[in-house]
Chain A
């Protein structure tokens, strides 16, 4: 309709009107070009690279077909990196969601000018780059002397020496703590925005029907909030699957490989061991996994939209 409206208003004949029909494509051309150049083309090139045994050390590339993918899937360290990624991502997601939802609901109960202040203070960590957060916590986690141990020591009145980063079982939780600190506010803000668009009349109507407090939450808020919840969970999960900055600076993947997620192992394969063919194959396996999650999330989102 709009196009027709525009076409009717203009003059200039056939050439000019063709120009106007072409214009939207001209508008989109530069972005398309850049997108093809830095995203699409590299990804396709990466498929090609993944089919070769290519190391930067020798510069020699030998066609091996799917061998890199098979090697990657069979590689115990690659498998471990997936386990590590899940081991950090899933608890982090759960905590971020529970805390984020709790905080969003709590903030909503705050009335008046205090609310934006509280929300802003709670949102402070979200603006800190992941790398900076990792640095800050790296200092706090220093054993015996860092502020984490010092604070605990002040509470229990005894020297405290917790192996935050040097225990293979505790180190992943130390990483989770940093992620949670850095990103929970994002979940909170997202849910706050979702809560904000729920019209007040819905609650009034529910109140009329006798539902208050928890009942209202479970039967009114939650269903209406569901699409937002699914969206934010999907966003966070996909981001967590890609994690790199925080483990890289906080532990370097250690102790051993206890905190080495998939992205970090790919970077090591490609740029430290210089085996770019294998690294490309590993990257595509990661892309496939993320794409799979994305697909499921979109399906879920569509179904929850239907419900609401």
Chain B
């Protein structure tokens, strides 16, 4: 019996180790390739640690391929959209959680919106944006991203607000605090970690977005996922070093933010779906 348990434990450990390897292999290979000399790209057997690492690809990304512009554009749009979603989402979520505004229909509508295929909104948004000259503007993109981020924001926030004990807020208001004051001084500070998780998700979704900017952005606002498109279709063929570097720099924000918010990530991932 004990032996069976140990064998089982051993198998599980092996499986987990294999899974970890599988998960990390592409990331490791991309990071390694981003600093390889071109002649080592196709080394067989594959080279994992280049003997002469070079940062030339990263430099090329910023000088020849305007990676800096892409980065800046994505930061502006992702931050802008995250802020906007929080600013309009927090009051809305509060109202729904506390006063059940809109009854059951509203949260259901939010859920439906979250599930909608983005491509369905893309054609009409393009036509509308074209009419009002919103194409290739930061404001336009920030608004457009609301199509997929607002439902996420409101849905997650409603879940968090519902968890918040109302008595705490009521107690404050009994003591003469206005509702808005109670919100500001009690509710928000205590929910700050949860709001931070939501912000992380909104930012990441906006950062990762490819389809919307593919059509709605232009030369002034193209975000980082479009850098991949131009690298892939470069006339010199797939530029391994630069492409690997582009992948590396595109995952930096998500990984940095995740490091900060490790504990809350799992909660956030499942928030709202179970309720």
- Bound complex: CA of A132 vs CA of B24, how far in Å? 14
Is A136 a contact of B101 with CB atoms below 8 Å? no
- A-B contacts, 10 of them at CB < 8 A, read A3-B99, A43-B116, A121-B24, A136-B26, A138-B243, A245-B211, A245-B225, A263-B119, A286-B119, A287-B120
Using an 8 Å CB-CB cutoff, how does the interface string of A213-255 with B read, 1 for contact, 0 for none? 0000000000000011001100100100110110011000000
| CB closest residue in chain B, given A153 | B44
A13: interface (CB < 8 Å)? no
Q: Which residue of chain A is the closest to B157 with respect to CB atoms?
A: A31
Binds B, one of A87-95, A102-110, A202-210: A102-110
**Pick the contact of A9 from B41, B121, B174, B214 — CB < 8 Å?**
B174
When each residue 116-145 of chain B gets 1 if its CB lies under 8 Å from chain A and 0 otherwise, what string results?
A: 111111111111100000000000000110
Cα A125 to Cα B26 with chains together (Å): 9
Could you mark each residue 121-161 of chain A with 1 if its beta carbon is under 8 Å from any beta carbon of chain B, else 0?
11111011111111111111010010100110110000000
**Is A39 positioned at the interface, with any CB of B under 8 Å from its CB?**
yes
Residues of A within 8 A of B274 (CB): 194, 227-228, 231
Report Cα–Cα, A248/B214, bound state, in Å: 11
B116 and A139 contact, CB distance less than 8 A: no
- A283 and B123 in contact (CB under 8 A), knowing A120-B262, A122-B19? yes
Residues of B within 8 A of A279 (CB): 123
B116 to A290, Cβ gap below 8 A?
Answer: yes
Q: Does B55 contact A (CB under 8 A)?
A: no
Task: Report A161 CB to chain B, min CB distance, Å.
Answer: 12
B residues near A270, Cβ cutoff 8 Å:
122-123, 126
- Nearest residue in A to B29 (C-beta to C-beta)? A147
A266 at the interface (CB under 8 A from B): yes
Total B residues in contact with A, Cβ cutoff 8 Å: 93
Asked if A267 is an interface residue, CB under 8 A from chain B, the answer is yes
- 13 new A-B contacts at CB < 8 Å, known A181-B22, A189-B265: A2-B166, A34-B146, A102-B15, A110-B16, A116-B262, A125-B26, A127-B258, A129-B254, A189-B269, A227-B274, A231-B273, A244-B210, A287-B120
The CA-CA distance from A249 to B151 in the complex, in Å, is 27
With an 8 A cutoff between CB atoms, is A60 at the interface? Answer: no
Are the C-beta atoms of B92 and A193 separated by less than 8 Å?
A: no
Residues of A within 8 A of B244 (CB): 136, 139
Residues of B within 8 A of A280 (CB): 123-124
A175: interface (CB < 8 Å): no
B125 A241 Cβ-Cβ under 8 A = no
Instruction: Please name the residue on chain B nearest to A50 by beta carbon.
Output: B123
User: How far in angstroms is the closest Cβ of chain A from B27?
Assistant: 6
B120 and A284 contact, CB distance less than 8 A: yes
Q: Label chain B's interface by main secondary structure.
A: helix
Contacts of B45 in A (CB 8 A): 150-151, 153-154
Alpha-carbon distance between A285 and B232 when the two chains are bound, in angstroms: 31
Binds B, one of A20-28, A72-80, A166-174: A20-28
B contact set with A: CB distance below 8 Å: 9, 12, 15-16, 19-20, 22-24, 26-27, 29-30, 33, 41-46, 84, 87-89, 91-92, 94-96, 98-99, 101-102, 106, 112-113, 115-128, 143-144, 146-147, 150-151, 154, 166, 170, 173-174, 179, 204, 207-208, 210-211, 214-215, 225, 228-229, 231-232, 238, 240, 243-244, 246-247, 250-251, 254-255, 258, 262, 265-267, 269-270, 273-274
Q: Is A276 an interface residue (CB 8 A)?
A: yes
Contact B247 A132 (CB under 8 A): yes
Q: Using Cβ atoms and an 8 Å threshold, which residues of chain A touch B258?
A: 127
A110-B16, A190-B269, A263-B119 are contacts. A25–B179 as well, Cβ < 8 Å? no
Q: How far is the CA of A18 from the CA of B210 in the complex (A)?
A: 45
Nearest first, the 8 closest Cβ-Cβ pairs linking A and B are A31-B92, A129-B208, A27-B91, A42-B124, A27-B95, A24-B95, A145-B42, A193-B270
List, in ascending order, chain A residues with CB within 8 A of B41's CB.
Answer: 145
Q: Does A307 contact B (CB under 8 A)?
A: no
Please determine whether A122 and B232 come into contact, CB atoms closer than 8 angstroms.
no
Contacting residues, chain B, for A38 (C-beta < 8 A) = 121, 125, 143-144, 146-147, 150
Which residue of B144, B173, B265, B269 is within 8 Å of A6 (Cβ)? B173
Bound state CA distance, A37 and B100, in angstroms?
A: 23
Q: In the bound complex, what is the Cα–Cα distance between A2 and B173 (angstroms)?
A: 11
Q: Which of A2, A30, A132, A134 has the most CB of B within 10 A?
A: A132
Q: Within the assembled complex, what's the spacing in Å between the Cα atoms of A132 and B96? A: 37
Residue pair B92, A28 in contact (C-beta under 8 Å):
yes
Query: Is residue A5 contacting chain B, with contact meaning CB distance below 8 A?
Result: yes
Task: Please give the distance in Å from A273's CB to the nearest CB on chain B.
Answer: 12
CB pair B101–A49 under 8 Å, yes or no, is no
